[in-house]
Amino acid sequence: NAGVTQTPKFRVLKTGQSMTLLCAQDMNHEYMYWYRQDPGMGLRLIHYSVGEGTTAKGKVPDGYNVSRLKKQNFLLGLESAAPSQTSVYFCASTMDGAGGYTFGSGTRLTVV
Amino acid sequence: EDKVVQSPLSLVVHEGDTVTLNCSYEVTNFRSLLWYKQEKKAPTFLFMLTSSGIEKKSGRLSSILDKKELFSILNITATQTGDSAIYLCAAIQGAQKLVFGQGTRLTINP
């Protein structure tokens, strides 16, 4: 099993450009999450989804949008990238939110 | 506001020392607490603690949860250079999402 796959692994964007990060899981998990990790701040929740077709805001949602059109995919969009969005982004999934979280290997995004 | 606080934020010790990492939490609808080790990429799972006072062990690592005082500790004995990493604790809030602490950066010098 591939687990949780994030694409791309690295990306450099110019301020104002847009992009979409893809998270795909093959474990039939219901819950999916997008986190960002900045030095000294742990992982902060951006958006999450508790099932296909549903999304909810996390702690730091501004500047990001998400979609969960298919159960296995959770997309994170940046409409107009800003340098403050330079970070490492992690996707995670779990069957029921009660444990067993599986993380992707991360996407390192730099906005210049 | 849900909050998880780890201490210390950074720790440097010599190989063979024993270390204790702390994690306190204030989370609504708390369910469980998780510990992760993060080296270069994704966090890797160490422990999940749900019941108070029951120690979980895995080799030189052990952890315990105190649900009355709202904290957990992670102990590492006889540390090795391979233990150098960021250690993250996270609380499961409302059985829906993880709230992470800032992490403790542990450096083990030979």
pLDDT > 90 in chain A, percent: 88
Q: Which residues in chain B touch residue A58, judged by CB atoms under 8 angstroms apart?
A: 97
The shortest CB-CB distance from A98 to any of B41, B92, B103 is to: B92
pLDDT at A1: 59
C-beta of residue B102 within 8 angstroms of C-beta of residue B89? no
- B11 shares contact with chain A (CB less than 8 Å): no
When pLDDT is cut at 50, 70 and 90, the band that residue A39 belongs to is confident
In the predicted model, is pLDDT for residue A97 greater than 90?
no
Give the residue-averaged pLDDT of A26-46. Answer: 93
Chain A CB within 8 Å of residue B43 CB: yes
Q: How does pLDDT run across A77-89, given as a tens digit for each residue?
A: 999 999 999 999 9
Contact B98 A92 (CB under 8 A): yes
Q: Please tell me the predicted confidence (pLDDT) of residue A96.
A: 83
CB spacing of B92 vs A43 below 8 angstroms? no
Inter-chain residue contact A43 with B43, CB threshold 8 Å = yes
How far is the alpha carbon of A98 from chain B, nearest alpha carbon, in Å?
A: 5
CA distance B30 to chain A (A): 11
Amino acid B101: pLDDT: 96
* Per-residue pLDDT tens digits of chain B, which is 110 residues long: 899 999 999 999 999 999 999 999 999 999 999 999 999 888 999 999 999 999 999 999 999 999 999 999 999 999 999 999 999 999 998 868 899 999 999 999 99
Burial B51-90, CB ≥16 within 10 A → b, else e: eeeeebeeeebebbbeeeebbbbbebeebeeebbbbbbbb
Beta strand segments in A68-106, E: 73-78, 87-94, 102-103
Distance CA B86, CA A24 (A): 26
Task: Provide the pLDDT for residue A43.
Answer: 93
CB within 8 Å: B4 and A42: yes
From CA A43, how far away is CA B63, in angstroms rounded? Answer: 21
Give the amino acid at B16.
G
Which pLDDT band, with edges at 50, 70 and 90, does A66 fall under?
A: very high
How far does B25 lie from chain A, in Å, by closest CA?
A: 14
Chain B, residues 54-83, CB within 8 A of chain A, namely none
